[in-house]
């Protein structure tokens, strides 16, 4: 059923913060999307169904945060990526200079880059900035061409404005075209590289089909040197019984008053069959349409849940690492606390001992002083 044919792609939207990635996504998806914002993990993904060359196409657009805080998590966000849109701001040269870092990072994580759209965004602000502060169209084109050749991946450069919507739809449409071409080429390669075992199985199936077709030869196709088997006695008996049967009177159709086996009834029956067949075809077409709609709705929900599960798994693994790290930090801090507490007790005991000795010495000296004073007082009194 052609109604069930569909494509689905995961698109990663990358680039520095504040270059308009989220605005690009929202402008393209408009109201027909379901978003799942996860700011604590630095990712936001949304889903949209579109049509490319008459085939329903599902896009899941992952808006990946550019802050260094989420760099350790971004590796997981590239998994299953079918296409990328690298965005920079034409009025922010730093974001253009960092664009190469994003491609290097993605290539390091994935090993091979998928089809790429390089989008110079915020062209509506270019007239409000000095020419030397902006990134020119020629610079963007040269960048896309250089990295396309260097990383061996198809890339298209386009300038966009998320504010006015200029070239936003075109950017995604061009990316879908690149992804479709890539998947079709991949499919043709897989077809050419069909395993030998599959080829042998196909040949064996063809040979069995030939044998089956040979075994169903009609009497006219039999070789002339093969004689048919003689008839059995049962054949004579059956024939005798049929020849001896009493002929029946033809039944009369009560509606048309014609013989029941009349050719006119056969034509009428064929007409009814054709009418019934047309009705069944309409029912089949309606059922196929309903099935295609149900399958499309379910695929949409499944695709959304698949991405939610993927992100939640990343969240769980990230939190598990954080818990493990926190547990270790807690153990280290507790061990350091225990060690410091023991040092404090030892230091306190040592200082207390010193203080006691000092006090004892003070007491001894005090006694001597008092005794000496007493002796001096007695001497004065004796004089």
User: What are the pLDDT digits (tens) for 95-111?
Assistant: 999 999 999 999 998 98
Model pLDDT, residue 195: 45
Model pLDDT, residue 244: 45
Q: Are 83 and 175 in contact (CB under 8 A)?
A: yes
Higher local confidence (pLDDT), 41 or 307? 307
Residue 114: band (very low, low, confident or very high) from pLDDT cuts 50, 70, 90? very high
Looking at the predicted structure, is the pLDDT value of residue 201 above 50?
Answer: no
- Domain ranges in the chain are 2-185
Looking at the predicted structure, is the pLDDT value of residue 42 above 90?
Answer: no
Looking at the predicted structure, is the pLDDT value of residue 8 above 60?
Answer: yes
Model pLDDT, residue 220: 43
Count of all residues that appear for the chain in the document: 383
- Of 72-81, 257-266, 275-284, 349-358, the range with the lowest mean pLDDT is 257-266
- Of 48-52, 187-191, 306-310, the range with the lowest mean pLDDT is 187-191
Looking at the predicted structure, is the pLDDT value of residue 134 above 90?
Answer: yes
**Contacts (Cβ under 8 Å, ≥6 apart) of 57:** 6, 7, 8, 9, 49, 50, 51, 176
Model pLDDT, residue 258: 52
Distance CA(372)–CA(374), nearest Å, equals 5
CA dihedral 189, 152, 74, 17 (to 10 degrees): -130
Residue 179: band (very low, low, confident or very high) from pLDDT cuts 50, 70, 90? very high
For the structural domain made of 2-185, what CATH number should be given?
3.40.50.300
Model pLDDT, residue 278: 78
What mean pLDDT, rounded, does the chain reach?
Answer: 77
What percent of the chain has pLDDT above 70? 69
Model pLDDT, residue 224: 41
| Averaged pLDDT, 286-315 | 78
Looking at the predicted structure, is the pLDDT value of residue 148 above 70?
Answer: yes
Q: Are 24 and 160 in contact (CB under 8 A)?
A: yes
Looking at the predicted structure, is the pLDDT value of residue 321 above 90?
Answer: no
Residue 74: band (very low, low, confident or very high) from pLDDT cuts 50, 70, 90? confident
User: Which residues are paired to 36 by β-bridges?
Assistant: 45
What percent of the chain has pLDDT above 90? 32
Q: Are 70 and 311 in contact (CB under 8 A)?
A: no
- Of 157-166, 211-220, 326-335, the range with the lowest mean pLDDT is 211-220
Q: Are 88 and 143 in contact (CB under 8 A)?
A: no
Per-residue pLDDT tens digits for 259-294:
656 565 566 667 677 778 778 888 888 888 888 778
Model pLDDT, residue 103: 93
| Averaged pLDDT, 335-346 | 91
Model pLDDT, residue 40: 45
Looking at the predicted structure, is the pLDDT value of residue 318 above 70?
Answer: yes
User: Which residues are paired to 119 by β-bridges?
Assistant: 87, 158
Distance CA(313)–CA(330), nearest Å, equals 25
- Of 195-204, 282-291, 292-301, the range with the lowest mean pLDDT is 195-204
| Averaged pLDDT, 20-36 | 74
Both tokens assigned to 97: 């200079």
Residue 249: band (very low, low, confident or very high) from pLDDT cuts 50, 70, 90? low
- Of 14-28, 73-87, 277-291, 302-316, the range with the lowest mean pLDDT is 302-316
Distance CA(7)–CA(48), nearest Å, equals 12
| Averaged pLDDT, 8-36 | 81
Q: Are 15 and 106 in contact (CB under 8 A)?
A: no
Segment of 60-74, 198-212, 276-290 carrying the highest mean pLDDT: 276-290
Which residue is listed with tokens 């945060």?
65
Q: Are 23 and 29 in contact (CB under 8 A)?
A: no
Task: Give the full edge-to-edge strand order of the sheet including 34-38.
Answer: 34-38, 43-52, 55-64, 7-14, 83-89, 116-121, 155-159
Which residue is listed with tokens 């290097």?
104
Model pLDDT, residue 293: 78
């Amino acid at each position: 059923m052609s109604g069930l044919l569909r494509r689905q792609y995961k698109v990663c939207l990358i680039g520095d913060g504040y270059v308009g990635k989220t605005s690009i996504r929202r402008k393209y998806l408009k109201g027909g999307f379901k978003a799942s914002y996860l700011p604590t993990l630095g990712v936001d993904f949304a889903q949209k169904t579109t049509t490319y060359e008459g085939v329903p196409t599902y896009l899941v657009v992952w808006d990946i945060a550019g802050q260094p805080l989420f760099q350790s998590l971004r590796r997981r966000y590239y998994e299953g990526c079918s296409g990328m849109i690298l965005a920079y701001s034409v009025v922010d040269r730093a974001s253009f200079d960092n664009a190469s870092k994003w491609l290097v990072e993605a290539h390091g994580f994935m090993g091979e880059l998928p089809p790429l759209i390089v989008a110079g965004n915020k062209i509506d602000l270019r007239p409000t900035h000095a020419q030397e502060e902006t990134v020119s169209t020629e610079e963007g084109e040269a960048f896309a061409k250089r990295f396309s050749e260097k990383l061996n991946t198809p890339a298209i450069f386009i300038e966009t404005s998320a504010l006015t919507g200029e070239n936003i739809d075109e950017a995604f449409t061009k990316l879908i075209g690149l992804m479709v071409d890539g998947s079709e080429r991949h499919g043709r390669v897989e077809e050419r590289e069909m395993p030998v075992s599959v080829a042998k199985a196909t040949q064996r199936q063809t040979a069995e089909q030939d044998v089956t077709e040979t075994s169903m030869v009609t009497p006219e196709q039999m070789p002339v040197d093969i004689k048919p088997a003689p008839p059995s006695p049962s054949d004579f008996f059956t024939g005798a019984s049929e020849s001896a049967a009493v002929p029946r009177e033809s039944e009369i159709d009560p509606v048309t008053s014609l013989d029941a086996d009349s050719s006119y009834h056969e034509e009428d029956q064929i007409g009814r069959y054709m009418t019934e067949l047309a009705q069944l075809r309409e029912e089949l077409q309606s059922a196929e349409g309903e099935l295609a709609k149900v399958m499309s709705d379910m695929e949409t929900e499944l695709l959304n849940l698949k991405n939610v599960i993927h992100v939640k798994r990343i969240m769980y693994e990230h939190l598990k690492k954080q818990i493990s790290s926190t547990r270790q930090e807690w153990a280290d801090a507790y061990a350091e606390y225990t060690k410091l507490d023991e040092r404090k007790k030892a230091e306190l005991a040592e200082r207390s001992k010193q203080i006691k000795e000092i006090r004892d010495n003070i007491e001894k000296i005090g006694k001597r002083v008092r005794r000496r004073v007493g002796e001096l007082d007695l001497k004065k009194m004796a004089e």
